[in-house]
């Protein structure tokens, strides 16, 4: 059975006996989606050296970049926007090392929400720090409650992995206020929202696959077979 790494997160207790105390975690839906797709999930806590990140990945068969904190805009050469959310330098560093090492080890990569954003930054792209920076009319990209509910449409690119899994159009959920602005040179956009927001990317000429989505398929995989198929692609790419 393949072992799929899930990049972990850090949270801080707001109350209780130890306010401010840090804990490592990922949301349960990531674990459930990997299990349902037929692999063993391995949660990788945030560590603080490139060497340890390589050790984390060498025993796995693929990587999921999970959601979480906003990406620090200093990572792509900008000062913080007034609507930027909380950032965490340790998480940024860990994810960037994960991407570097996974590419070096030729592991498949699947980025989710923050995952598409940090992948784009790692490869030389930039982000809208808040969707209010994007000109023109916008669809709602933060739906609020009901995480497994699909709320807006994405259109996929012909010949892409997304087209093969989702068809020409698919309806996804949406929980983000950052988004891709300038696409990294080594990526191409493979799904777009009706307002022009980039919703999925793939790595050019990549094998094994490197792909990412702006929505949260782990929240939808129980009801939508295409969302589960996004996880299976990570596991079955060489079969």
Active-site positions? 113, 216, 218
**Alpha-carbon dihedral sign for residues 215, 223, 219, 119:** negative
Residue 226 CB-density burial (10 A; 0-12 exposed, 13-18 middle, 19+ buried):
middle
Confirm if 63 and 109 have CB atoms less than 8 A apart: yes
Report in angstroms the alpha-carbon separations of 128 from 29, 72, 75, 152, 212: 27, 11, 13, 19, 17
């Amino acid at each position: 059975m393949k072992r799929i790494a899930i990049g972990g997160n850090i949270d801080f207790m707001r109350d209780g006996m130890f306010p401010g105390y840090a804990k490592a975690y990922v949301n349960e839906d990531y674990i459930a989606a990997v299990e349902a797709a037929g692999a063993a999930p391995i949660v990788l806590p945030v560590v603080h050296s490139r060497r340890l990140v390589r050790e984390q990945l060498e025993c796995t068969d693929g990587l999921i970049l999970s959601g979480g904190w906003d990406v620090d805009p200093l990572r792509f050469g900008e000062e913080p926007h007034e609507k930027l959310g909380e950032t965490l330098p340790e998480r940024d560093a860990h994810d960037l090392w994960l991407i570097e090492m996974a590419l070096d080890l030729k592991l498949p990569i699947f980025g989710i929400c923050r995952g598409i954003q940090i992948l784009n930054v790692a490869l030389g792209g930039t982000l809208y720090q808040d969707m209010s920076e994007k000109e023109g009319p916008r669809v709602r990209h933060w739906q609020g409650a009901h995480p497994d509910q699909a709320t807006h449409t994405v259109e996929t690119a012909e010949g892409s992995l997304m087209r093969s899994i989702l068809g020409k159009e698919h309806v996804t959920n949406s929980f983000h206020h950052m988004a891709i602005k300038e696409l990294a040179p080594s990526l191409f956009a493979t799904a777009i929202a009706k307002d022009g927001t980039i919703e999925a990317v793939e790595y050019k000429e990549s094998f094994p696959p490197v792909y990412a989505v702006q929505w949260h398929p782990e929240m939808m995989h129980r009801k939508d077979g295409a969302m589960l198929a996004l996880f299976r692609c990570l596991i079955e790419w060489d079969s």
